[in-house]
Structure 1
Amino acid sequence: MTATTLIKQEQSAKRVVLEVKDAIAYVTLNRPEKHNGLDKQMFIEMVATAKQIRKDRRIRAVVMKGEGPSFCAGLDFAAVSKNPSMIPKFFAKLPWSKDNMFQRVAHIWRDLPVPVIAAIHGNCFGGGMQIVLACDYRISTPDANLSILEMKWGLIPDMSGMVTLSRLTRIDIAQELTMTGRFFSGEEGAEYGIISRVSQDPVAEATELAQTIATKSPDAVAATKYLFKKTWKKDTRGALLWERLTQLRLLGRKNQRIAMANGLAKDKEPKPFLDRTSFK
């Protein structure tokens, strides 16, 4: 057995595969035979992967995708029913945190200091939908099959979906999709403001966007995500304060000076940026 074969076997056994290439982290949900349904191990590996990305300051952007026919079909109820102790454990608030494990598996991506781009195809239901809602951009095939499916089980979205959905679309649309649990396409999702854009090849388009962002100052990119998260739909006075404070954290830093030099240089090869130094 070759080393390459061993690596492939290890990756196939993982629920979440992380590959970093040219400062872009590619996160692949890897239970294709279950349409990447969320089981206990998938939850654990998703959170661990996000933490690993946070620690690596070389990473400039994340592309998240699903292996096989779907992005993520949501919670794997069959797997969860075999491990009933998972529900109370994951529902309990985690120590020294604002969330529980169910919420963290989605919300942790929103808290990363780098942009996260979801490339959606096939089915994206329930928990899978809540994960993409927590991403910064959602690029979907026009015919992707989407649903906030929790109503089918007599539940509400409880993986931070209420927080993220309310920031993306009107309340009447959010309520209708949540109360009915109806299926809608990627194209419809774009009309609602839930999907950022549609593409026949969402992975390629997500990669292109990530590559573009990766050419910018990683400190300024992280600051932008931080600032929008702090100020979106907040009062003007508070937003202006956060804007001033955030700018002060950028001014004069090495990456800001590199950006200035590159912006003023004419017909010269731009200097590469250093790894992210702030906004952990």
Structure 2
Amino acid sequence: MESPRVIVDVQDGIATVTMNRPDKLNGLDFAMFDALVAAARQIRRDRSVRAVILQGAGRGFCAGLDFASVMTQRGRMMRSFFKWGVKKTNLYQEACWCWRELPVPVIAVVHGICYGGGMQIALAADMRIVAPDADCSIMEAKWGLVPDMSGSVTLRELIPMDLAMRLTMTGERFSGVQAQAWGLMSEVSETPLQRAEALAREIATRSPDSVAYTKALFQRSWTAGVRRAFRIESALQLRLMMGRNHREAVAANRQKRAPKFSARTVG
């Protein structure tokens, strides 16, 4: 029996999502695309989840698109470019963007190879912890393509246009240390999984509603004008102040005890 492409393990409010195709360096075939989207949906439904760790099994995070597999299904390959109904993403984009749209923080753990579509999955996470010797590339140029799995949005959020163009046009490879220096990665760690777990545990001690609204606040206001940004922060704050988890945070601080938060109310 074939192993699942993606494994979701939830422990103490932290969901560890593992791309599980180590023999192919977690290359993206249609089964992997479908499994990534399904994993994000599963986590969204589970309101006990406080944070997500996204990683790859084996020797690398993700080697990008498995052309040998995908090109054997040309009909599905073309259909997967379409956006159905009111969706803003096609299948390729949704495999990345689904992590951005979760109401919990997603921390990518990047080690070994992180190429092409794998890089775009990592960039769509809210934070990225990278091993210093990780081997990274926006590699679509090697195949005569452009990054089309949400990379046009996530790259502009993190680095200047001239650097994004250079890395995309050349497909050059760079280390985790260099990726962090440019701003593509959040932190460098010799033990990126352990660092991600520690960060997730720290986040999980806070109100799940305030964490969810913090993610929403910055996503909605980061490029908004001042007036709109102020409206967004006020609206989110008012919702939080009317919630039980805010009341619990206040009570716990006054009583000098650890808070006992309810499951998040944000879907």
Deviation at 1:238, TM superposition (A): 0.9
The whole-number CA distance in structure 1 between the counterparts of 2:105 and 2:3 is 27
Residue of structure 1 equivalent to 2:56:
66
Deviation at 1:236, TM superposition (A): 1.0
Question: 2:35 — aligned with what?
Answer: 45
Residue from 70, 76, 80 that aligns with 1:86: 76
CA root-mean-square deviation: 1.0
Matching of residue 148 in structure 1 with residue 138 in structure 2: yes
1:231 to 200, 213, 221: 221
Select 1:161's aligned residue among 151, 172, 196. 151
Distance 2:261 2:165 in 1: 44
Query: Where does residue 261 of structure 2 map in the other structure?
Result: 273
Once superposed, which parts of structure 1, at least 4 consecutive aligned residues long, lie more than 3 Å away?
none
Give the match's secondary structure for 1:128.
Answer: helix
Q: Given that residues 71 and 77 in structure 2 are in contact (C-alpha distance below 8 angstroms), is that contact kept between their aligned partners in structure 1?
A: no
Deviation at 1:193, TM superposition (A): 0.7
Tell me the equivalent position of 1:5: none
Q: Distance in 2 between matches of 1:174 and 1:261?
A: 47
Q: Which residue of 2 aligns with 1:221?
A: 211
**Whole-Å separation in 2 of the counterparts to 1:33 and 1:48:** 22
1:87 Cα offset (Å): 1.3
Q: Is the Cα contact below 8 Å between 1:92 and 1:100 reproduced in 2?
A: yes
Q: Which runs of 5+ in 1 are unaligned?
A: 1-8
- Show CA shifts across 1:14-41 (max 9, x none): 0000000000000000000000000010
TM-score by length of 1: 0.93
Q: For 1:166, what is the secondary structure of its paired residue?
A: helix
Return the alpha-carbon distance in structure 2 between the equivalents of residues 183 and 86 of structure 1. 30
Q: TM-score, normalised by structure 2?
A: 0.98
C-alpha contact 1:94 1:101 (8 A) present in aligned 2: no
The DSSP-based 3-state class of the residue aligned with 1:167 is helix
Aligned counterparts of 1:142 and 1:94: Cα–Cα separation in 2: 40
Instruction: Report the Cα offset of residue 86 of structure 1.
Output: 2.1
- What is the Cα deviation at residue 233 of structure 1? 2.4
**Identical amino acids, percent of aligned pairs:** 50
Amino acid of the residue matched to residue 150 of structure 2?
S
Alpha-carbon contact 1:231-1:242 (below 8 Å) kept: yes
Q: Is the 8 A contact 1:60 1:114 kept in 2?
A: yes
1:151 deviates by 1.1
